[in-house]
Amino acid sequence: MKGTVYKSTGSWYTVKSKEGVFYECRIKGKFRLKGIKSTNPIAVGDVVTFDEDLSAEAQGVITDIQDRKNYIIRKSVNLSKQTHIIAANLDQVFLIVTLNNPTTFTSFIDRFLVTAEAYHIPAILLFNKIDTYTTEELNEIRYLASLYREVGYQCLGISAITGKNVDQVKEMMLGKTSMFSGHSGVGKSTLVNAIEPKLDLKTKNISSQHLQGQHTTTFAEMFDLEIDAKIIDTPGIKGFGIVDMEKEEIGDYFPEFFKLKGECKFNNCLHIDEPQCAVKDALDQDKVAWSRYKSYVQMIKGEEENYRTDIYGEK
Ligand SMILES: Nc1nc2c(ncn2[C@@H]2O[C@H](COP(=O)(O)OP(=O)(O)OP(=O)(O)O)[C@@H](O)[C@H]2O)c(=O)[nH]1
Ligand SMILES: [Zn+2]
Cβ 160 under 6 angstroms from ligand 1: yes
Please enumerate in sequence order all residues whose Cβ is within 8 A of that of 242, keeping only pairs 6 or more positions apart, or say none.
73, 74, 75, 115, 308, 309, 310, 311
What is the pairing mode between strands 230-233 and 177-181? parallel
Boundaries of every domain in the chain: 2-67, 87-233, 247-308
Best mutation site among 190, 196, 233, 312 for ligand 1, i.e. most ligand atoms within 8 A of its Cβ? 190
* Residue-level pLDDT at 5: 97
Numbered residues of the known binding site for Zn(2+): 264, 269, 271, 277
Cis amide prior to 235 (ω within 30 degrees)? no
Architecture of domain 247-308: Orthogonal Bundle (1.10)
Distance CA 222, CA 234 (A): 9
Is domain 2-67 annotated with CATH 3.50.50.60? no
Look at ligand 1, atom 22, and give the residue with the nearest C-alpha: 184
**Which ligand ends up closest to the CA of 100?**
1
CATH entry, 87-233, from 3.40.50.1370, 3.40.640.10, 3.40.50.1360, 3.40.50.300: 3.40.50.300
Q: Which atom of ligand 1 is nearest to the CA of 132?
A: 1
pLDDT of residue 211: 42
Residue 76's pLDDT is 63
Over its length of 315 residues, how does the chain's per-residue pLDDT go in tens digits? 999 999 988 789 999 999 999 999 998 766 655 555 677 789 999 999 999 999 989 999 999 899 999 998 877 666 566 778 889 999 999 999 999 999 999 999 999 999 999 999 999 999 999 999 999 999 999 999 999 999 999 999 999 999 999 999 999 999 999 999 999 899 999 999 999 988 766 544 434 444 444 444 467 899 999 999 999 988 766 567 667 788 999 999 999 999 999 999 999 999 999 999 999 999 999 999 999 999 999 999 874 444 444 444 433
What pLDDT, on the 0 to 100 scale, is given for residue 197?
87
Provide ipTM, 2 decimals: 0.98
CB 179 within 8 A of CB 231: yes
Is any ligand 1 atom within 6 A of the Cβ of residue 100? no
Q: What is the widest separation between alpha-carbon atoms in the chain?
A: 70
Tally of CA atoms within 13 A in the half-sphere of 290 that contains its CB: 4
CA distance 200 to 113: 28
What lies within 8 Å, CB to CB, of 225 at 6+ separation is 173, 195, 196, 199, 231
Ligand 1 neighbour 74 (Cβ under 6 A): no
